[in-house]
Amino acid sequence: MVGIVIVSHSAKVAEGIVELAAEMAADNGHIIAAGGLSDGGIGTDPLRIQAAIEQADTGDGVAVLADIGSSIMSAETAIEFLEGSGIRVRIADAPVLEGAVSACAASAGGTSLDEVIAAAEEARGFSKLA
């Protein structure tokens, strides 16, 4: 099962998204929050993200959903640190909440990492009022 990591500047946001997105999945053990700094402050921490990716991986790869600003840079740093670990990781170019819900639904269906990423990125063009 593809793991999913939620990166946000806020620990509460990341945990809240995990809570919401996990409703789409029967097994929520592979959706991990990586929000905020280790001291509880607002920000992103590549080492926390790296640890979350390692925790989320079960061998099928990990999709990362990230919020604004430094979260992408921090996620990219974490992925660089994981080079050589054998863990396949991709960042979805998608809105963090909607993308996470789509990714979780796809992951629960047993799809591949690329398919989970594609599902998350489809959320980018989804109209709420159409």
**Residue 42 is which amino acid?**
I
Catalytic residue among 1, 9, 14, 34: 9
- 8 Å CB contact between 74 and 14: no
Output the smallest distance, CB 93 to other proteins, in A.
Answer: 14
Q: Which is nearer to other proteins, 42 or 58 (CB)?
A: 42
Q: Which is nearer to other proteins, 10 or 112 (CB)?
A: 10
Does 30 participate in catalysis according to the annotation? no
Q: Which is nearer to other proteins, 53 or 103 (CB)?
A: 53
3-state secondary structure of 6: strand
Output the smallest distance, CB 45 to other proteins, in A.
Answer: 5
Output the smallest distance, CB 95 to other proteins, in A.
Answer: 16
Residues in touch with other proteins (CB under 8 A): 9, 37-38, 41-48, 69-70, 73-74, 76-77
The H or E element containing residue 63 is strand 62-66
The strand order across the sheet containing 31-35 reads 31-35, 3-8, 62-66, 89-91
3-state secondary structure of 76: helix
Output the smallest distance, CB 33 to other proteins, in A.
Answer: 16
For residue 6, the tally of other CB atoms under 10 A from its CB is 32
Annotated active-site positions, please? 9
